[in-house]
Chains A and B, each alone.
Chain A
Amino acid sequence: MDELIVFDKVYLTYHTKESETPVLSDINFTVSKGELMGLVGPSGCGKTTILSLISGIIAPTSGSVLTGGSPPQKCDISGYMLQKDELLPWRTNMGNILLGAEIKKLDRQKTKQKAIQLLKKYDLEGVEKHYPSQLSGGMRQRIALIRTLVLAPQIILLDEPFSALDFQTRLQVVGDVYNMLKSEEMTAVFVTHDINEAISMCDRVAVLSSKPCRIKKIIDISEFNGIPPSERRVNKRFVEIYDDILTTMQNDGE
Chain B
Amino acid sequence: MSVAVAKAKSDLSGPYEREDLLNGCQAVAQGVRLADVDVIAAYPIRPYTEVMDALSKLIADGQFDAEYIIADSEHSQFEIVKHASSVNARAFGGSSGTGWMYGMEALVVTATDRLPPLFVVGNRALDDPGAFGVEHNDAMAIRDMGWLLCWVTTPQEALEHVLIGYRIAEDKRVRMPMGLAMDGAFLTHSQHMVKVPSVAAAKKFLPQYDLAERRLHPDNPISVAPQVNEDWVMELRRQNWEAAKRARGVIKEAYKEFNDVFGNRYSAPYYFDEFMTDDAEVVLIGIGTVAAPARTAVRRMREKGQKVGYVNLRWFRPFPTVELRESLSRFKAVGVVDRDFAHGSPDDCGILMHEVRSCLYPAKNRPAIVNFMGGLGGRDLSIADTQKMFEITQQAVKKDSMDGFITWIGLRE
Q: Do A and B bind each other?
A: no
A: residues with CB less than 8 A from B are none
A-binding residues in B (CB < 8 A):
none
